[in-house]
Structure 1
Amino acid sequence: MAGSASAAGVVSTRAAILRATLKVVGEQGVGGLTNRRIVAAAGVSLGTLTYHFPSQTELLREAMLLFAEEETAKLAAIVEGHRTDELSLEQAASLVEQVIRQLPFGTDELAPHELYLQAARDPDLREASERCFAAYDELATAILGALGLPDPARLAGPVVALIAGLQLRRLATGTDVPAAEPLMMLLHGARG
């Protein structure tokens, strides 16, 4: 029992550090990420931070993977909640737009974009970035396949890119950006 409690403490400490990292990145950008800010946000000591994450690259990589895991789980739960609804393409596109509109405008949404940009600068983060997008592609493939679209794996990348681009535009402009219509254009084009 004591071993599992200790392991749970390590996991929660690591998770707290990773969530604090995402918070700081969202608020300050990667350039503003300092150990002092992370430990203050996580409520841990500097020694604890460096024990769990000896390098900033490892810290950023693990934070990116945690975000992708939690985000895809959240999106998969939404999909699962509508799995038996037999949605039309139009209804599915409308649902995607609703989900995007429900996302908060804030640091939680900025952090992943900051990390993806950092991955463009830091080759050591690219594998984590690729894994994040692979998770999104896998989820999109499952949804597109359930909608009966031909070659859903081929279509998943463009759908994910469209949605990510619309989210970025929403964050950058501070205004809601309709997603259903552009998504329908892409999906109807795929049907041929």
Structure 2
Amino acid sequence: MSEGTRERILRAVLRVIGAEGVAGVTNRRVAKAAGVSLGSITYHFETQRDLQREALLLFVREETERLAALAQAQVGPVSLADAAVIVEQVAESTTFGRDEELAPLELYIQAGRDPDLRDAAADCFAAYDQIARTVLTGLGVADPDRLAGPVVALLAGLQLRRLATGATGGTGIGDALTMLVRGAS
């Protein structure tokens, strides 16, 4: 029961951050969102930083597993059109719902302020870099390590743009990847 409660709390933290931002995380709000007693929050987590760090780590763990599965499925050569489809799939699929999509972005920004969150953020970006390298290698790009970071930055920027503008439908990420890779070749 304890692990189930802890995970419910962490998922509630992500929902609260997605809806209210990092500043909106209070023990009362999280307890209500998780459906647990207020005491459960302080039992499992000493500080708000612990709540935030562990919520980001939950996201990172699940996102890393998801991306690793995608990367393993993409072994071997791939066409640029297929790579664009893969990247669109990565961008449009998320472990959490729309509100929770905002939570990792909020936590990445918070990691810029809080060194305790930086390792978790770095782990997540390393997973994104790995799938980018896998796709770029499948495309036959000569130096996939050099291009992985820019591809991830492009994807993150377009995701941020989509979330900030409320745009729906195609993200343009596949087209942007195509232009970037063609320019790097």
TM-score (norm 1): 0.84
| Structure 2 equivalent of residue 131 of structure 1 | 123
Contact 2:56 2:120 in 1 (8 A): yes
Structure 1 letter corresponding to 2:183: G
Q: For 1:53, which of 36, 45, 49 is the aligned residue?
A: 45
Per the TM alignment, residue 151 of structure 1 is displaced from its structure 2 partner at its CA by 2.2
> Residues 141 and 82 of structure 1: is their aligned pair in 2 closer, same or farther, counting only changes over 3 Å?
closer
1:183 to 174, 177, 184: 177
Cα distance change of structure 1 residues 22 and 105 upon mapping to structure 2, 3 Å threshold: closer
CA distance, structure 2, for counterparts of residue 108 and residue 16 of structure 1: 14
Q: Which region of structure 1 is more displaced relative to structure 2, 18-27 or 130-139?
A: 130-139
Residue 19 of structure 1 corresponds to 11
The percentage of aligned residue pairs carrying the same residue is 56
Q: Confirm or deny that 1:43 pairs with 2:35.
A: yes
Q: Does 1:149 align with 2:156?
A: no
Pair 1:136–1:98, CA change in 2 (3 A): closer
Deviation at 1:72, TM superposition (A): 2.8
Q: Does the 8 Å CA contact 1:64/1:132 hold for their aligned counterparts?
A: no
Taking the TM superposition and a 5 Å limit, the aligned residue runs for 1:100-119 are: 100-101=91-92, 106-119=98-111
Q: 2:63·2:124 contact (CA, 8 Å) conserved in 1? A: no
Which sits farther off after the overlay, 75-84 or 146-155?
A: 75-84
Gaps of 5+ in 2: none
Structure 1 residue runs of 5 or longer lacking an equivalent are 1-8
List per-residue Cα deviations over 1:43-72 (Å, max 9, x = no partner).
222222112110111111111111122123
Larger mean Cα displacement after TM superposition, 16-25 or 43-52? 43-52
The answer to whether the 8 A contact 1:100-1:167 is kept is: yes
**Contact persistence 1:150–1:190 (CA under 8 A):** no
Shift of 1:37: 0.9
- The Cα of 1:144 is off from its aligned counterpart by 2.1
Task: For residue 101 of structure 1, report the CA deviation from its aligned partner.
Answer: 4.2
| Equivalent residues of 1:140, 1:160 under 8 A apart | yes
Shift of 1:127: 2.0
The residue number in structure 1 matching 2:86 is 95
Aligned residues: 182
Residues 94 and 180 in structure 1, CA contact (< 8 A), matched pair in contact too: yes
The more displaced of 90-99 and 30-39 is 90-99
